[in-house]
Structure 1
Amino acid sequence: MAGRGRKPIRHLRWWIISLVTIGTVLNYLARSTLSVAAPTLKDELGMTTESYSYVVLSFQLAYTVMQTVAGAVLDLLGTRLGFFLFAVGWAFANMAHGFATSWQGLAFFRGLLGATEAAAIPAGAKSVSEWFPARERPLATSAFQMGTSVGAIAAPPIVVFCILTWGWESAFLVTGALSLIWATIWWFSYDTPDQHRALGADERALIAAGQGQGDEAGRPSTRGEVLKSRGFWAIAIPRFFAEPAWQTFNFFIPLYLVTVWKLDLQSIALWAWMPFVAADLGSLAAGLLPPWLMKRGANVLESRKITMSIGAICMIGPACIGLAGSPGLAIALFCIGGFAHQMLNGALITLCSDVFDSRMVGTASGMVGTAAWIGGMLFTLAIGQSADTFGYSPLFAMLGALDLIGMAILWFLLRKRSLAN
């Protein structure tokens, strides 16, 4: 937090979202460490694909439950304190992975990581609702959402380097320590616009003036109203269908490359980051397309729905991975999937700021996240039970179909005059 009398920082809201983005990068770096280390850990700890899926499931179960809790905690404690506590928690939980001696121990620490990392997306959405006018929210959301893929991009080279240099335990210690450093910076840098002493009067007025844009009337402002609203289910159900794709990309691309194409650890480091570069471009598209559509006559909600729909249609690409004749073509289809998912997901995350009262954005985002992660958790369980028997191809085909279903539900439920009933 800036000191009293400090000269205002120009465009402070963009510095704030940059800080949120770095936190998201480190959040996803920590969670992606396991997927890159998975081939090594399967040998070191004697894990099968099924037992590995249980380790992933432990993270997903804790994350799913805690999304709603974390959102409520953020609304109760405030973004600054709430996000700080969760960040410190995930830093230590990730470092603890290095002390696991069995897949059961790894699953326990993975559950602790999931419980603490659950605050990242609700905290990002709440920061956007606090710091940005409605017209800038898509780009701000896309900025911090890009952190999810940057973290996944950074994981293969960092984790492989640590494993080859110091052993697999060091990968978790290093990535956890980076999060701990960020948490300290966050504590001394973040505050709300009405309290931040480095925010200029002009920018404070700009933020305040833009907070009322969008559909103000009838916005749900209590947890009960959120759950009863069509707007909540219009976001939650499509995210339930969309999240399995992103979690599959994050947790299973390295295992897919080893299992199907017999690539070694160095080859995984060479290939596995590419879909997440494409995902960054998808996040950017989710930020730039809605304002472009709004300038051409679309209202706020229509711009989000069109953006989500384009991403859902593009998910047909990764649905065809089973037809790939080479690892290069498979990675190219994963790239289309990364772009498509982050584009549609960015639109859905932004909708929480558009539809709900700012005091409930953390809670609403957390409950939507819980719905999303239930979908991801169920799909991970399906992978663990069927991948070794039937292969990955049918599962990837299902991912494309699920997003198209989510698109249809979004258009059916999210109608401007029916958000609160």
Structure 2
Amino acid sequence: MLRWWMIGLVMVGTILNYLTRSTLGVAAPVMLPDLGITEQQYSWITAAFQAGIMFQTVTGYVLDVIGLRYGLAIFAGAWSLISAAHSLAFNWPMLAALRGAMGLAEGTAQPGGLKVVAEWFPARERGFAGGVYNIGASLGSMLAPPLVAASIYYWSWHAAFIITGGLGFIWVVCWLLFYRPIAEHPRMRADERDYVLGGQERGVLTPVTAPRPSFWAIARRRNLWGIAVPRFLADPTWGTLTFWLPLYLAKERGFDLTQIAIFAWMPFVAADLGCLFGPAVAAWLNKRGVSIVNARRWAFTLGACMMTSLMFVGTVESAYAAIALLCLGGFAHQTLSVTCITMATDLFPSNEVGTVAGIAGTCANFGVLLFSLAVGGLVASVGYGPFFVALAVLDLVAAVWLWTVVKDPAKEATA
């Protein structure tokens, strides 16, 4: 059962990764007036983070080359330090520079987590394992509102960044102490190693013993873009919940800091459930004879259909009804997002997963960047309502793309 301890350690790292990136969004209603930052400038700050995290294409490849143990330790130490340095910011350009640097370092979360899933789990367990570590994204974002609000209440917004950044250094120490590759881990029993390696058959896919292809060879593959474009279309939802939800609640629904602390975490609790629901749907279909790739596509499509609930967030009169719809949106988004992310382990061998996840993550964060700039530039004139409608429509388009472009290796093998 060592593999589950390893994915648990990854989940804790993901919690802290998303906690630090969510700190700014929760602190924004207090921090922006204090520093004299406008909504337009705030959109540039969030865009800087997305620009930095788009370098997942590079960081994922770096993880493939230098390995997970030292690679994740270096990047996690970097984003923890940069997060704490946010406390020193005194204007929006400085804050934007820090966000860009932190985005670059934090972009290793998904490629690193997927590499652990690909290397430590047999194919039939990867969906659930991917859901487990992705719970960290929701938990980190969920912990941010009460923790950051309490830090601001008792100390200041500066203290919030120091506290959340400091937690990351503790994880780095634990990671270096406990993580080793599966072939080298001293506590890995022979029967568990055989179980994992015996379940990694990939049919027509390149064996993991083959030399790793070049970056450009991987980038030319159809299936890569089959999962990268849906992530480009779907991830603006997560960016909206993380960076814009507290401001939406403050400006459109009249919430104060205490109310934001009480309610802003709820969509992320629902998202935690979605992390498990998506893989469960795919596993249920797979047991009934649906290929694993098609099972994940059906789970994604179900999540996209549920995402249509976001269309009504801006029109309902009750703030609590809006929160309920946002919770359903968080659940639906993680249902489809985890499904799409995990699909990389079904379509590519483990020694390519970091690169694939990095390219797909770059596309995802480019989508968040464009959407965030659009919100910052237009929200003053059109409000938030049209953007919630757009999020629902984009996911439906993503589902169509996933069915159209991705080729199922299982079907190609029997053709």
TM superposition score category, shorter chain reference: over 0.9
* Separation of aligned partners in 2, 1:332 and 1:78: 42
Native 8 Å contact 1:29 1:155 kept in 2: yes
Identify the residue that residue 408 of structure 1 maps to in structure 2. 400
Identify the residue that residue 215 of structure 2 maps to in structure 1. 223
Native 8 Å contact 2:238 2:333 kept in 1: yes
Identify the residue that residue 34 of structure 2 maps to in structure 1. 44
**Pairing 1:277–2:274 present:** no
Identify the residue that residue 363 of structure 1 maps to in structure 2. 355
Identity %: 43
Deviation at 1:341, TM superposition (A): 0.6
Post-superposition Cα deviations, 1:139-173, rounded to whole Å, max 9, x if no partner, equal 00000111001001100111011111111100000
Identify the residue that residue 111 of structure 1 maps to in structure 2. 100
Native 8 Å contact 2:202 2:349 kept in 1: no
Structure 1 segment 76-225 matched on structure 2, within 5 A = 76-213=65-202, 215-216=204-205, 221-225=213-217
Deviation at 1:224, TM superposition (A): 2.9
Paired AA for residue 411 in structure 1: W
Deviation at 1:289, TM superposition (A): 1.6
* Separation of aligned partners in 2, 1:173 and 1:204: 40
* SS of structure 2 residue aligned to 1:263: coil
Identify the residue that residue 12 of structure 1 maps to in structure 2. 2
* Separation of aligned partners in 1, 2:73 and 2:279: 26
Native 8 Å contact 1:95 1:175 kept in 2: yes
* SS of structure 2 residue aligned to 1:212: coil
* Separation of aligned partners in 2, 1:299 and 1:32: 36
* SS of structure 1 residue aligned to 2:252: helix
Paired AA for residue 177 in structure 2: F
Query: Which of the numbers 232, 239, 247 marks the counterpart of 2:239?
Result: 247
Paired AA for residue 72 in structure 2: F
* Separation of aligned partners in 1, 2:203 and 2:127: 13
RMSD: 1.5
Unaligned runs of 5+ in 1: 1-10
**Pairing 1:25–2:15 present:** yes
Post-superposition Cα deviations, 1:9-56, rounded to whole Å, max 9, x if no partner, equal xx0000000000000000000000000000011111001111111111
Native 8 Å contact 2:63 2:71 kept in 1: yes
Identify the residue that residue 8 of structure 1 maps to in structure 2. none
Native 8 Å contact 1:221 1:359 kept in 2: no
Identify the residue that residue 7 of structure 1 maps to in structure 2. none
* Separation of aligned partners in 2, 1:146 and 1:384: 28
Identify the residue that residue 235 of structure 1 maps to in structure 2. 227
Native 8 Å contact 1:35 1:250 kept in 2: yes
Deviation at 1:359, TM superposition (A): 0.6
Native 8 Å contact 1:163 1:171 kept in 2: yes
Native 8 Å contact 2:207 2:349 kept in 1: no
Paired AA for residue 166 in structure 2: A
How many residues align structurally? 409
Identify the residue that residue 327 of structure 1 maps to in structure 2. 319
Post-superposition Cα deviations, 1:48-72, rounded to whole Å, max 9, x if no partner, equal 11111111111111111x2111101
* Separation of aligned partners in 2, 1:218 and 1:353: 13
Query: Which of the numbers 366, 391, 394 marks the counterpart of 2:386?
Result: 394
* SS of structure 2 residue aligned to 1:415: coil
Native 8 Å contact 2:283 2:295 kept in 1: yes
* Separation of aligned partners in 1, 2:206 and 2:111: 23
Deviation at 1:225, TM superposition (A): 3.2
Distance 1:419 1:319, change over 3 A: farther
Deviation at 1:331, TM superposition (A): 0.6
Unaligned runs of 5+ in 2: none
Paired AA for residue 81 in structure 2: F
Deviation at 1:222, TM superposition (A): 4.0
Structure 1 stretch displaced more, 321-330 or 70-79: 321-330
Deviation at 1:286, TM superposition (A): 1.8
Native 8 Å contact 1:222 1:360 kept in 2: no
* Separation of aligned partners in 2, 1:169 and 1:215: 53
| TM-score, normalization by structure 2 | 0.96
* Separation of aligned partners in 1, 2:213 and 2:123: 17
Native 8 Å contact 2:23 2:148 kept in 1: yes
Native 8 Å contact 2:15 2:138 kept in 1: yes
* Separation of aligned partners in 1, 2:73 and 2:345: 22
| TM-score, normalization by structure 1 | 0.95
Native 8 Å contact 2:64 2:351 kept in 1: yes
Structure 1 stretch displaced more, 274-283 or 216-225: 216-225
Deviation at 1:287, TM superposition (A): 2.3
Deviation at 1:415, TM superposition (A): 2.6
